[in-house]
Each structure stands twice: as structure tokens, then as C-alpha cells.
A and B are shown apart, each in its own frame.
Chain A
Amino acid sequence: MHHLVRRALSVALAAGLLTAPAATALAQSPAPSQGKVTFTVGILSDVDSTNPFTGIVVEAYEAYALMYDYLVTSSPKDVSAMPSLAESYQEAPDKKSWSYKIRAGVKWSDGQPLTARDAAYTFNRIINGDFEQTNYGNYVTNIERAEATDDTTLVLHVKKPTPIMERLAVPILPEHIWKDIDGTEVKSFANEPENGQAIVGSGPFRLIERRKGQFLRFEANKEYWRGAPKIDELVFRVFLNADAEAQALTRGEIDFAYDLQSNVLESLKNKPGITTRGSAYSGFDEIAFNTGAALADGTPIGDGHPALKDKQVRLAISHAIDRDVLVNRVLGGNGSPADTFIPPVYPALHLDPANKQNFDPAKANQLLDAAGYPKGADGVREKDGKKLALRLFVRDSSEESQATGEFVKTWLKDIGIDVTIKVMSEDALTEVIGQGEYDMFEWGWVVEPDPDYQMSVFTCGKRSYKDGDSIFADLSDSFYCNPEYDKLYEEQAGETDPAKRAELAKRMQQMVYDDAAYAMTYYYDDLVAYRSDKWTGFVPQPDPDGSLLFQYGIHSYLSIEPVRATSPASAAAAAEESGGMSSALIGGIVGAVAVLAVGGVLVARRRRTADADERE
């Protein structure tokens, strides 16, 4: 009997050691912010910095958009430019300045009024700054100076006409706070709440707590000029693992899971209370060609296969790619076949080409025959004794990239092109692209609402450059260079009429498409899942297939609200709270039993040992 008891206890000991901390948590199960309506978003990448001059990840920009106001934003309907803190704006007739009418009566969270002077301060700080240019330099290259002519009028003087003035994604900062942070200090300034004091901002939410690598907690600004958010608190919680994020969503620890992979999304489908969604997104992937690597001044570099300088060969490759298969097999259906480089989420700018490069191996073969590449004895085409054997680089960080590579290799083999795939890191790939030492590679871009940056990628001036003896990459990754295209690019850069500019953008897309600088593969979706049993009111951007959160603007955050089916929101929240408690209770009891068991064993042992030691 004695032995049996001890044996049982020893098993309990092992269990108890492992669950002991649970017992201590019995009294205090985490139940934050009682009575408040909190919306929690799971993110897979921590905000790198809450200082808007420092951070660069999407999650950081989302935080800035919540904390601060912007002159302009992007409409939820079609991502077109839309007034925001500036209730109206216009270009001066002489095209030398733009004036923005700043909304009156807006206050910073510390009670100070927000005026045009704050806006002027922010822009001048970037224009005259050094480190401040890091994140926003491109927006101000054409702005000479900013000036507040009165409390509600901001005037930005421009060097030459530019359409970017409708798209100034620059958070307006409070002068009375930031004037004390000089150009050196700003580099290491964290902009994080201390002692529970919220960061001073004017946006719909205020950052009140931040734990690096863990979470950011925002409190709603109930006086927000666009109307009070319907939630009290917003939390971004960091997960480094999509499976754990999905698990947290299933349990109701978080309400929205951002940045999921297709297999995780699949595992969440048909779970009660959860809605999964693939939203049309502003990103695309492509097979890029080395169309003839050269420096910006035209000096050839690299070792690209000469065949790819021939547009017909590139077109043939594009015709050999079955984009529907890629969408279904590589993306699991979460995307659409791609054609031009401005994705359809920008309906005003996207060009849907009439002459689609459809999957057509017969046509591909025909193009290659006509280009003078007959098939050799081994089935591989060649010209002047040089085989049509190409390298294709894919990225180690992306399974999609590698899968696409395998498909393309097979399709190109069918039309007599021999492909060697090499998997490499994005870092190494950036390097070889810059040097022009590649034939083809798989990668992609995310296109901003203002297409200037994306369009600049295909200009001659963005090819690699030389500094001393070393060659460095610029934006161009196809070395596409077409003087006609450059002319259109210059023209659109000064075109402030949105309709005329869109027309130019479409002509530029057609040009790059016809010249096949890229063989575009797909536009991929942004994959999310959320608790549709608890939350409603999301505003997709663009309507109706676009993203629900992490948009250009903060539209959804203003209208998300708890579902009011039978009980009011507070009851729903309360029910959730008690559910959490009861499971905590179970854990606590298990832990308490275990601790008692440990205690029992220790006492028993101590007593026996003491007795025995005395005896001997």
C-alpha cells in the first residue's frame, strides 16, 4: 500500500512541477480592461518602430495611420485620392503651389489645437531634415517649402507640377512635441508611451502601451472628427507563427488574423464563427527577364543570355506560362492571373490589355521558330551554336516562388528551352540582379496608390549605377530601357489631371506588356480570417473584394462594431469574459491539485528521511 501511494504521488510530482505556475494564476486570470469593447488583431510581424520616421513594415504604417492624421487618404470605394485632414485642396492656377484647407476644431490628444502650422512644421522638417527624409523623402523632392498662411490654410510651394500632391502619405505631427526632438535625437527616438501617458496624436486611436515583440495597445479617440470609433480599445498582438495565430483566433483570444498563409487559411475554413477571406491585393508576382543588363549610362554589364534581348523570345516564354494553373496550384486559388503591372485593385489606373498573352504553346513554338531558334537533336533550341539554356532564380523564403519555378521549367522544356533553377536568398538575388548576372528570376512588387514609384522601375535611369569600382543596384530589375516609355514617364510626372495621368499610365503599361519586360504571373490575395460571429462593420477597400484591414487609410477601424444579435454588445463581451474565467479556473484547479501532490510527496519524503537518518 505504502509503495502504491508513493508511486502515484511520484507521477503527480512530475505533472505538478510542470503545471505549478497555473495554481498561482488561479486568483488572477488575465482579464484586461473590464467592460471595454476591445478588438484584437493578430499580426505576424512586429511593428519595427512607433517613430514614424523610423519604421518601415506594413504593420508600422498601420500604427501611424491610427495615431496621426494625413492631409489626404485613399477612398474605400476605389482607392482614389480623398480629402482627409485637409477638407479640400487645390493646385494654384500658376501650378507653383498647392493649398490645403485644414479642418478647423481638430485637437491633439493633449488638448492643444491642431492647426495648419503643425502641418507646415511636419513638411518643413522633412524637407530640411536628414534622417527625416528616410521614409518620406520621395514625397517632398518636389516641394520647396511649406507655409501656413493662417490656422487653417497650408500652402506647399512646388518646384514643378506634380500629381503626388494628392497622395502625400505623411503623418502630421504635433509641433509642440516634436520641436524638442532634434535631428540627432530623432534617429533613436522611440515614440513610445511612458507611465501610461498616451503618445500625443490626432488620429482615431492613441497608443497607450507597447511591449516590443508582444503587442501594441491603442485607446479610441472618442472625439475623432470623422466620428468616434465604435470600439474602446484596439490591440495588435504579435505572433511569430501563423498556426499559433490561427489557434488564438479559434479560441477567441484574437478577433482578426492578418497575414495568413493559404494552408493555414484552409485549416480555418468552416470553423464555427470564423470567416476566411482572400482579399484582392495590390501585389503581383512576375518572371523578370534580363532584357540586356546595362548601367544607367548604357554601358553593358552582366552575363545575361543574349536571346532574352529579343522581344520575340520573351513573348514566347510569356505565352508558354499557364497562369490559371499557377493561381490554382501555387496560390490555392487565392489570386488571379496577371497581365499588367498596376493591379486591378486600382480600377482607375489598371490596364486590361486587349491582346492578352494567353497560354498557347503552339504560338510560343511558332515565335521561337520565327526568331531563328530551331530545335536541336536533343530537343533544345539553339542559334549560332548557342543553346537556348536559361537560368531561373527563385527565392528560398517563398514556397510560391519555388513552385512557380518548377512549373515554368516544365512548360519551357515543352517549347525547347532548357531551364536550370537555382534557389537563393532575396539578399543574394538582389545582388545578382544589380550586377545583371541572371537570365530570369521570380519575384514581385506591391504597388502603391500613387503609381509613380512602380512606373519608375521601368525607366532607363533606374538601371544599375557605378560608384567607384563597384556596381550597385537601383530599382530596375529587368533593365528595360525605352526612350518612348521614359518620355511618357516624364509627362505623367508633371500631369496633375488624374484622368489624363491615368491615360498615360495605361499607355505605359501597354508598352511594358507588349515588350514583355516581365512575364507577369499572378496578382495574389491578402489572406485573413476573422470572428464574424462577434464583429461586423468592416469596410473593404476597394469595394467589394479588397482588404478589410491594412488598407490605405483607416476606414474599417472607424466602423467595426460588435455583432448585436440578441444581446447588446456589453453582454456579449461579458459572456466572453466569464468563458475565459471558467477555463482559467479549470487550469487553476489542475495546478492546485498538482501543487498539493508535490507538497505531499515532499513532506512524506522529508519525514521518512529524517526518521531513517536518525536511526542509522
Chain B
Amino acid sequence: MTAFLTGTRGYVIRKIGWSLGTMLFVVVFNFFLFRLLPGDPIGLYSRGRNMAPEQLIKLRAELNRPIGAQFLEYLSNPFASTINSVRFNRPVWELVAERVWPTVLLVGTAILIASVAGVWLGIRSGWRRGGTFDRVTTGVTNTLYAMPEFWVGMVLLIALPFFPSGGISTPGVTGFLDTVLDTAWHMVLPVTALAIVYLAEYTSIMRASLVDELRQDYLQLARAKGLREDLVRRRHAVPNALLPTMTLIFLNLGFVIGGAITVETVYSWPGLGLLSYEALRGPDIPLLQAVFLLFSIGVVVFTLLADLLYAVLDPRVSTQ
């Protein structure tokens, strides 16, 4: 048994087990959390609608069923909900599904750009610590890091008036190529705003972990072997320094699903972040419940992926 749980295989099984456990907890907690909230969900739903009293009674009966029966039904599809989204009067799952892709597109692109650029900038400045490039990069990224996302978004919006002020597409644009170009055009500002924030994080983490490696003996050995400085960095220092940055990237990927609420709000980007903002404004409890669940699962899944990737990047992790 213990042998079964050691080594790489054991590591993988342990991590998957933990993730499943966490997810189960999230699913159960999500059910009870939203039933503990005070308020009258039916009253909230019927506000502003000229509903007949018989309809209200029918809906109430649905919610007054034994909690166990409700829980079983919830388990069969945790995203479904007895009541439609209050704001949109549609099944919540449908709403969530159509908002996933814009968010994945936005946050995915931003993380991709920021991680490539951030890692590169971090390596450059960390390797020549204290140099002009380092001082400029550190100064700039720290400044960017200190700026709130919505503020960066508003500044870009005002400073770059030739880009659209919001949305993901222009009314009336059809055809595949035109749609792709139009979407890319709309993505410029929100992706930039988001990438700036991530960029600063990745750069500073990458720089810091590379600096940690600088004085290590194995680098001296590599140099002694006669390797050129570039190769010492690329083959030896960087792979070892990459681990913390990977953690951060994957943690952020987990939040891809959660979207970037502030950036999506500034640019009226029709993604999940915006959806959760709208759900909170209501508050639209059935919608919030589904959105919360999706966010939590996103984080759990990507944390698991990060853990598994560690084992690949650094075999020491799985043997300890």
C-alpha cells in the first residue's frame, strides 16, 4: 500500500485524489451556502413581473420540497437550478455556457502574451542584475503592478481613441475573415490592459527566482566547462528558475474561467466576469450559484494540472 503511494505514480494519485475531494466539498458546500442565504428567491424573481399568484404558489412548492430530494436533484446536475436566472429568465447553464468562450479568448491571450514576454524580460533583467535594463524593467513593471486593472483599462481607453471602446464585435460585420479581424481589433485594449498586469507579476517572479540561482555552484561548473554565458543561462539556470513562474501562470489559468471581472466590466466584454458582475448586481442567486461552482472547479482543475506539471519539470517534487 505504501509502496503503491510512493514515487511518481503515488504522487499523481495523491494529487488527483485531493482534487476530487476538494471538488466534492465545493459541490456540496455550494448547495448549502446558497440555501443558507437569507431572502425570498421567489419574491426576487417575481419582482417587476406581472405574475399571477397561482404561478408563485407553484414555484414556492418547488422550493419547499424536502432538502434531501433537492440535494439529490442538484447532484444529478449541479449547474441546473430550479429557478431560472432572475435577470435573464433563462436556465443558468445556458447563460454560463455562452459566456465561457469570450473569457477564455481574452484571458488566455493575455496570459500567453504576458507569460512569454514576462519570462523573457525576467530572464534578461535577472541575469544582469543591477544593469540598466534590469533597473528600467524593474521600475516599469513595479509601476505597472501597482496600478489597478480598471484604472489601466480606463487610461488605455482614453489614450488610444482609435480602438473600440468596448464589446467584442461590430454590429453588421459578417463573414469568417472579417469576424476574426474584427474580434482581434476589439481585443487589443482589453488584452493589453490584462497583459500589463500579468506581465509585471511574471517578470518580477521570474527575475527573483533567477537571481536565486545566480550564485549556485552548478553555474560555476558549467562556466568552468567552457560554456558560453548564454548557454549557461538557457540550459542550466532558467529551467531551474522556471518553477515559481509556472506556479503563478497556472494559478492565473485557474482564474481564466473566473475571468477578469474588472477588465471585462471596463470594456463591456461579454464574458464570465461580466456575467458574475451582473449576477452580483441583482443579486441573481441561481446564476451566482452556477458561476461560483464553475470558478471553484476551474481553480481546482488548474491547480491539479500545475501539480502534475511540476513532476515533469522537476522530478525531485514527486520523489520527496
A residues sitting closer than 8 Å to B (CB atoms) are: 7, 10, 13-14, 17-19, 21-22, 24-25, 27-30, 32-33, 46, 48-49, 54-56, 130, 133-139, 188, 196, 209, 211-215, 217, 233, 235, 237-241, 243-244, 247-248, 251, 253, 397, 425, 427-428, 430-431, 434, 467-468, 472-473, 583-584, 586-587, 609, 612-613, 616
Cα–Cα distance between A217 and B167 once the two chains are bound (Å): 14
Per-residue interface assignment for chain B, residues 260 to 295, with 1 indicating a CB less than 8 Å from any chain A CB and 0 otherwise? 000011111010001101100111000000000000
Name the residue of chain B whose CB is nearest to the CB of A249: B165
- Please state if B90 and A243 are interface contacts (CB–CB under 8 Å): no
Per-residue interface assignment for chain B, residues 158 to 174, with 1 indicating a CB less than 8 Å from any chain A CB and 0 otherwise? 10111111111111111
Task: Give the shortest distance, in Å, between B268 (CB) and chain A (any CB).
Answer: 5
B38 contacts partner chain A, Cβ-Cβ < 8 Å: yes
16 contacts between A and B (CB under 8 A): A21-B188, A25-B181, A25-B182, A25-B185, A32-B171, A54-B89, A137-B50, A196-B174, A237-B171, A240-B265, A241-B268, A244-B268, A248-B166, A397-B281, A427-B283, A616-B228
Q: Pick the contact of A56 from B49, B133, B169, B270 — CB < 8 Å? A: B49
- Greatest chain A CB density within 10 A among B88, B158, B268 is at B268
Given the interface contacts A13-B117, A612-B228, A616-B231, does A136 sit within 8 Å of B50 by beta carbon?
A: yes
Given the interface contacts A248-B166, A431-B40, does A48 sit within 8 Å of B87 by beta carbon?
A: yes
- Please state if B43 and A472 are interface contacts (CB–CB under 8 Å): yes
By the criterion of a CB under 8 Å from any partner CB, how many residues of chain B are at the interface?
77
B1 contacts partner chain A, Cβ-Cβ < 8 Å: no
Cα–Cα distance between A198 and B182 once the two chains are bound (Å): 23
- Please state if A238 and B167 are interface contacts (CB–CB under 8 Å): yes
- Please state if B158 and A247 are interface contacts (CB–CB under 8 Å): yes
Q: Which residues of B contact A612 (CB under 8 A)?
A: 228, 230-231
B113 contacts partner chain A, Cβ-Cβ < 8 Å: yes
Q: Pick the contact of B274 from A134, A213, A243, A397 — CB < 8 Å? A: A213
- Please state if A247 and B165 are interface contacts (CB–CB under 8 Å): yes
Cα–Cα distance between A425 and B120 once the two chains are bound (Å): 47
Cα–Cα distance between A188 and B91 once the two chains are bound (Å): 8
Task: Give the shortest distance, in Å, between A167 (CB) and chain B (any CB).
Answer: 13
Q: Pick the contact of B277 from A30, A240, A251 — CB < 8 Å? A: A240
- Please state if A7 and B173 are interface contacts (CB–CB under 8 Å): no
Name the residue of chain B whose CB is nearest to the CB of A218: B171
Given the interface contacts A133-B50, A188-B90, A214-B168, does A21 sit within 8 Å of B184 by beta carbon?
A: yes
- Please state if B166 and A239 are interface contacts (CB–CB under 8 Å): yes
B252 contacts partner chain A, Cβ-Cβ < 8 Å: no
Besides the contacts A25-B188, A431-B39, what 4 more A-B pairs have beta carbons closer than 8 Å?
Answer: A13-B120, A25-B185, A244-B154, A244-B166
Q: Which residues of B contact A434 (CB under 8 A)?
A: 40, 43
Q: Which residues of B contact A467 (CB under 8 A)?
A: 57, 60
Task: Give the shortest distance, in Å, between A199 (CB) and chain B (any CB).
Answer: 16
B47 contacts partner chain A, Cβ-Cβ < 8 Å: yes
Q: Pick the contact of B188 from A19, A46, A241 — CB < 8 Å? A: A19
Cα–Cα distance between A29 and B164 once the two chains are bound (Å): 10
- Please state if A17 and B116 are interface contacts (CB–CB under 8 Å): yes
- Please state if A56 and B274 are interface contacts (CB–CB under 8 Å): no
Q: Pick the contact of B170 from A30, A240, A586 — CB < 8 Å? A: A30
B72 contacts partner chain A, Cβ-Cβ < 8 Å: no
Q: Which residues of B contact A139 (CB under 8 A)?
A: 50
Q: Which residues of B contact A472 (CB under 8 A)?
A: 40, 43
Cα–Cα distance between A586 and B184 once the two chains are bound (Å): 16
Q: Which residues of B contact A17 (CB under 8 A)?
A: 113, 116-117, 195
- Please state if B182 and A30 are interface contacts (CB–CB under 8 Å): yes
- Please state if B167 and A214 are interface contacts (CB–CB under 8 Å): yes
Task: Give the shortest distance, in Å, between B187 (CB) and chain A (any CB).
Answer: 6
Given the interface contacts A28-B178, A244-B268, does A55 sit within 8 Å of B283 by beta carbon?
A: no
- Please state if A135 and B191 are interface contacts (CB–CB under 8 Å): no
**8 A Cβ contacts from B87-106 to A:** 87-91, 98-99
Q: Pick the contact of A235 from B171, B177, B182, B196 — CB < 8 Å? A: B171
Q: Which residues of B contact A14 (CB under 8 A)?
A: 117, 121
Given the interface contacts A24-B184, A427-B44, does A18 sit within 8 Å of B192 by beta carbon?
A: yes
Q: Which residues of B contact A609 (CB under 8 A)?
A: 230
Q: Pick the contact of A425 from B160, B177, B283 — CB < 8 Å? A: B283
Cα–Cα distance between A137 and B274 once the two chains are bound (Å): 32
Cα–Cα distance between A90 and B187 once the two chains are bound (Å): 56
Cα–Cα distance between A54 and B91 once the two chains are bound (Å): 12
Task: Give the shortest distance, in Å, between B154 (CB) and chain A (any CB).
Answer: 6
Task: Give the shortest distance, in Å, between A613 (CB) and chain B (any CB).
Answer: 8
- Greatest chain A CB density within 10 A among B117, B166, B178, B227 is at B166
Given the interface contacts A21-B187, A21-B188, A217-B171, does A244 sit within 8 Å of B266 by beta carbon?
A: yes
- Please state if B165 and A244 are interface contacts (CB–CB under 8 Å): yes
B55 contacts partner chain A, Cβ-Cβ < 8 Å: yes
Q: Pick the contact of A430 from B47, B51, B281 — CB < 8 Å? A: B47
> Sorted from nearest, which 10 A-B pairs have the closest CB atoms?
A213-B270, A32-B172, A583-B162, A30-B170, A25-B185, A138-B50, A21-B184, A248-B165, A28-B181, A217-B171
B124 contacts partner chain A, Cβ-Cβ < 8 Å: yes
B48 contacts partner chain A, Cβ-Cβ < 8 Å: yes
- Greatest chain B CB density within 10 A among A7, A18, A434 is at A18
Q: Which residues of A contact B267 (CB under 8 A)?
A: 244
Cα–Cα distance between A56 and B84 once the two chains are bound (Å): 14
- Please state if A427 and B274 are interface contacts (CB–CB under 8 Å): no
Cα–Cα distance between A27 and B185 once the two chains are bound (Å): 11
- Greatest chain A CB density within 10 A among B44, B172, B188, B275 is at B172
Name the residue of chain B whose CB is nearest to the CB of A473: B43
Per-residue interface assignment for chain B, residues 133 to 176, with 1 indicating a CB less than 8 Å from any chain A CB and 0 otherwise? 10000000000000000000010011011111111111111100
Q: Which residues of B contact A137 (CB under 8 A)?
A: 50-52
Task: Give the shortest distance, in Å, between A266 (CB) and chain B (any CB).
Answer: 17
Q: Which residues of A contact B275 (CB under 8 A)?
A: 213
Cα–Cα distance between A549 and B282 once the two chains are bound (Å): 24
Name the residue of chain B whose CB is nearest to the CB of A254: B165
Cα–Cα distance between A48 and B167 once the two chains are bound (Å): 17
Q: Which residues of A contact B265 (CB under 8 A)?
A: 240-241
Cα–Cα distance between A56 and B57 once the two chains are bound (Å): 21
Q: Which residues of B contact A49 (CB under 8 A)?
A: 88-90
Given the interface contacts A19-B188, A32-B171, A48-B89, does A134 sit within 8 Å of B230 by beta carbon?
A: no
Cα–Cα distance between A616 and B228 once the two chains are bound (Å): 8
Q: Which residues of A contact B154 (CB under 8 A)?
A: 243-244
- Please state if A133 and B52 are interface contacts (CB–CB under 8 Å): yes
Q: Which residues of A contact B133 (CB under 8 A)?
A: 7, 10
Name the residue of chain A whose CB is nearest to the CB of B51: A134
Q: Which residues of A contact B162 (CB under 8 A)?
A: 583-584, 586-587
Q: Which residues of A contact B98 (CB under 8 A)?
A: 212
Task: Give the shortest distance, in Å, between A48 (CB) and chain B (any CB).
Answer: 5
Task: Give the shortest distance, in Å, between A325 (CB) and chain B (any CB).
Answer: 29
**8 A Cβ contacts from B110-139 to A:** 113, 116-117, 120-121, 124, 133
Q: Which residues of B contact A430 (CB under 8 A)?
A: 39-40, 43-44, 47
Cα–Cα distance between A390 and B57 once the two chains are bound (Å): 35
Q: Which residues of A contact B43 (CB under 8 A)?
A: 430-431, 434, 472-473
Task: Give the shortest distance, in Å, between B229 (CB) and chain A (any CB).
Answer: 10
Name the residue of chain B whose CB is nearest to the CB of A55: B89
Cα–Cα distance between A139 and B89 once the two chains are bound (Å): 21
